[in-house]
Amino acid sequence: MLAYQANPQISSFFAIDVAACAKTGPAPKSLKVDAHMPEHRHGMNYAPKVTALGPGRWRAEGLMLHMPGKWEFVFVVDGERMAHALQLSEGVRFSEPERQRILAHGPWPPSARRDPSNRVSGRPAAIALGERLFFEPRLSGSGSILCASCHVPFRAFQDGRARGFGLEEVERNTPSLFNVGLYRWYGWDGGHDSLWSQSIRPLLDAREMHATSAHVAATVRKHYSTEYESAFGRQPPASDEELLVDAGKALAAYQETLVSGRTPFDRFRDAMERADVEEMKTYPLAAQRGLKIFAGKGNCSVCHFGALFANGEFADVGVPFFVAPGKVDPGRAHGLEVLRKSRFNLLGRYNDDAARSTATGTRHVEPQHRNFGEWRVPSLRNVARTAPYMHNGSLATLRDVVKHYSELNEERLHADGEKILRRLDLSEAESEDLVTFLESLSQEPAARRE
């Protein structure tokens, strides 16, 4: 009798543990192990080395099955030959924890949801007004900058620059607006807790659109009075600030509709859920291997969690944050100050939800020393279309991002900080696989490789 244990995967070396016993008499003394493909009339390219572990027990190391298909393990025990067939599937094997993490990345798209803090969220007339305002340069103080100047629709609603540039260059990368309706915090530093309050920020920032509440209100009154009345069911109010907030809410209603499409990964994930092996095989093997790293040893899916591939919180992943000699961008530490001081936060009078049901985070968030230099974990949906990367656009390509984590400078992380952040030390092939997986998170048609 013979039993063996192995976990072969295509083109990966593996070991096989074998136990054999005779029907009668003492345990067998010798074992040879080989594997071949009967239909291809060839075997492995490597000769395994067998080591005895005890009476009737051996370990063979150095096996590698270099292509998918029907293989046979061949065991020769004290001269007696035994063959065991196995089908080596083209897919990558995922452990149950990995499978659970992968399934948590969907389904996609999520069902539409309204923002209770915004009374016009989901209202068609407000979405239409928001879209008009999004492309309206007269909202800016100079009359020359529109939201879409930085959030360019054909660039996945970002600008392709390392750092944003409205009227002047700012310190941070312009994030994509895809799926912003699903966020908890807004801005790289989370200085805002709703999409509508975040939408007000660049209007008033001197380096971006450099408007005032009076200017925005006057523009809406003069050019969008009818559309405003359709969206809000009343005439524009006399208060400039109130009208500024409503402009932010219309802009938010429009941006909530910017949901990214389904991706090759989504098809794989759904096939995995319904155990559709044939459909799973259509997902490139390299992407599957990259996904295994992402959900497995890379621990990427701990922070890039769920259907959005983002846990909605903040992290220090060792990216330097000097912006000029003697000047730093403090990230989340500054964002919390902004949030608490803002008249437009969810604890304020402009929240349309009397129950404050989405204000829990704002009410309970507590500054921590680690916030200094933390940045919001970005969503990875459409990530191949949103280069450059990180809060300051300091990494040009996805390969650079993978290299950053593979060669993570642990000296920049506190000894008692996030324990999962450790050098991944990925091989070149593994890095390529991870990049291929990340590219598969872009809505079809697939993004081009750089």
Partner 1 sequence: MRTALALCFILWGSLAHGQPLPIFDAHLHYSHDAWESVPVADVIAILRKAGVRRALVSSSGDDGQQRLYAAAPDLVIPELRPYRMRGEIGTWFRDESVIPYLEERLRKYRYAGIGEFHLYGADADLPVPRRMVELARRHKLFLHAHSDADAIERLFRQWPQARILWAHAGFEQPEVVADMLSKHRNLWADLAFRTDHGSSGKVDEAWRGVFLRFPDRFMVGTDTFTPERWHYVPGHAEWSRAWLSSLPHEVAERIAWKNGEALFGSAASQD
Residues that bind partner 1 (CB under 8 A): 320-322, 325-328, 330, 333, 366-370, 372-373, 410-412, 414-416
Structure tokens at 378: 């970005």
Encode 130-140: b = buried (16+ Cβ within 10 Å), e = exposed: bbebbebebbb
CB of 429 to partner 1, least distance (A): 27
Q: Which is nearer to partner 1, 50 or 347 (CB)?
A: 347
Strand ranges in 55-109 using DSSP code E only, listed in sequence order: 57-63, 69-77, 80-88
- Provide the CA 14 distance to its chain's centre, in angstroms: 31
Least CB distance from residue 409 to partner 1, whole Å? Answer: 9
Q: Name residues whose C-beta falls within 8 Å of residue 215's C-beta, 6 or more positions apart in sequence.
A: 139, 141
Label residue 364 exposed, middle or buried (CB < 10 Å: 0-12, 13-18, 19+): exposed
Q: Which is nearer to partner 1, 96 or 416 (CB)?
A: 416
Name the strand (E) or helix (H) holding 220: helix 213-223
Judged by beta carbon, residue 278 or residue 411, the one nearer partner 1 is: 411
Cβ 184 to partner 1, closest distance in Å? 21
When the beta carbons of 283 and 321 are compared against partner 1, the nearer one is 321
Q: Cβ of residue 423: shortest distance to partner 1, in angstroms? A: 11
Q: Whose Cβ is closer to partner 1: residue 342's or residue 382's? A: 342
Closest Cα to residue 262, out of 440, 437, 109? 109
The rounded distance, in Å, linking the Cα atoms of 183 and 196 is 12
To 5 degrees, how large is the angle CA 106–CA 107–CA 109? 110
Task: Provide, rounded to whole angstroms, the least separation between the CB of residue 328 and partner 1.
Answer: 5
Q: Which is nearer to partner 1, 135 or 322 (CB)?
A: 322
Question: Closest CB to partner 1 among 6 and 338?
Answer: 338
Q: Which is nearer to partner 1, 126 or 421 (CB)?
A: 421
Supply 257's token pair: 């509709």
Q: Phi and psi for 231 in degrees, rounded to 5? A: -75, -40
Contact 375, 189 (CB under 8 A): yes
Spatial CA neighbour of 351 closest among 249, 257, 267, 252: 249
State in angstroms the smallest separation of the CB of 416 from partner 1: 6
From start to end of 286-416, where are the E strands? 314-315, 322-324, 327-328, 375-376
CB of 414 to partner 1, least distance (A): 5
Q: How far is the CB of 397 from partner 1 (least distance, A)?
A: 25
| Cβ atoms < 10 Å from Cβ of 252 | 27
Provide, rounded to whole angstroms, the least separation between the CB of residue 173 and partner 1: 18
Other Cβ atoms within 10 Å of 45 Cβ, number: 8
- Quick one: 151 or 376, whose CB is closer to partner 1? 376
